[in-house]
Amino acid sequence: MDATKIRGKVVVITGGARGIGLATATALQALGARVAIGDIDEATVKESGAARDFDLYGKLDVTDAASFESFLDEVERTVGPIDVLINNAGIMPTGKLADEPDQVTRRILDINVYGVILGSKLALRRMLPRRAGHIINIASLAGETHIPGLATYNASKHAVLGFTDTLREEYRESGVRFSSVLPTLTNTELGSGVTAPKLLRPAEPEEIADAIAALIAAPRSKVRVTTVAGVISQVVGLLPEAVGDGIARALGASHAFLDDVDAAKRRAYEDRARNA
C-alpha cells in the first residue's frame, strides 16, 4: 500500500467512538491522514478523540440532517475540505423478526440505511464541485446473504450495497469514488456474545481498518474481509438455493444469531443499540 496516497487527506468517520470506526481512525492517523470522528455517544467520542489527539471529534447523529451538516461544516472549517467520508455508524440487534419492536426496526433502518444515504448526499454536494472525493460505506457480508436472526440488519446492508453500487454508476465521470466494505462478524461490541459460524473466524477491527486504508490508497468498488469469508459468501451465492442454504445451515449460520447467542454477554450492547 502506498501511504503517500493517504498522507494529508481529510477523513471523516461516523460511528468513530469505538470498534471498526475507532480502529480505522487510528490506522489512518498513523498513515498521516487528518482524522475527524463523530458519534452519537458524545462522552465516548470525546474520550476516544482526546486520547488519540484526532483533528476533530464530537457528537454526530447520522439520522439528523442538521447534526450531520453541522459536523461536516465544522470539519471543513477547522480541518479542511473533506477528501473521504466513511459511513461506518451502524447497529445490529439480533432476534426473530416477529419479536422485534417496531421502534427497533425503525432505528436499524434509520441508522444503517438513512444515515448512509444522508451522509453520502451531504458529502457529494461538497465533493462534486471539486470533482474529487471518496465515499466509503461500511456494509457487511450479511448484505450478500441471508442470516436468521438478522432479518432487518440483513435488509439494511443489502440496501447499502445496492445504494453504493448505484452511486458508483450514477456519478461515474464525476471524479468522486464510491466503495463498499463488507466485513464478516468482527470482534467488537457489536459482535459480543455471538459465536461465528464454522470456518468463519471473526475478524479483528484492525483488519477492517487495514482494508479501508488500502481502499483509500487504491480505490475499488468492494472489499470483503476476511478473504475466506468473502470467498464463501460469493461461492454460496452462486449455488442453487437449496444447496447454498444447506451449506449455510451446516456451517451453523441458522443458529449463530439466534439460539447460540450468549444473551448475558450481549445485553449491554443490545440495550445501547436498541435504546440509545
Active-site positions read: 153
Helix axis angle, 241-250 to 227-238, nearest 10°: 140
Whether a cis peptide bond, with omega within 30° of 0, leads into 226 is: yes
Provide the 3-class DSSP secondary structure of residue 181: strand
Dihedral angle over CA of 108, 253, 97, 241, nearest 10: 100
Of the candidates 93, 89, 68, the residue with the CA atom closest to the CA atom of residue 21: 89
d(CA 68, CA 114): 12
Burial of 263 per CB tally in 10 Å (0-12, 13-18, 19+): exposed
- The Cα angle at residue 158 between residues 156 and 164, in degrees rounded to 5: 100
Look up residue 171 and give its three cell numbers.
456519478
Place of cell 461500511: 138
Distances (CA, A) of 256 to 103, 206, 216: 24, 23, 32
- What is the full DSSP assignment across 9-23? -EEEEETTTSHHHHH
Residue 12, beta-bridge partner list: 36, 85
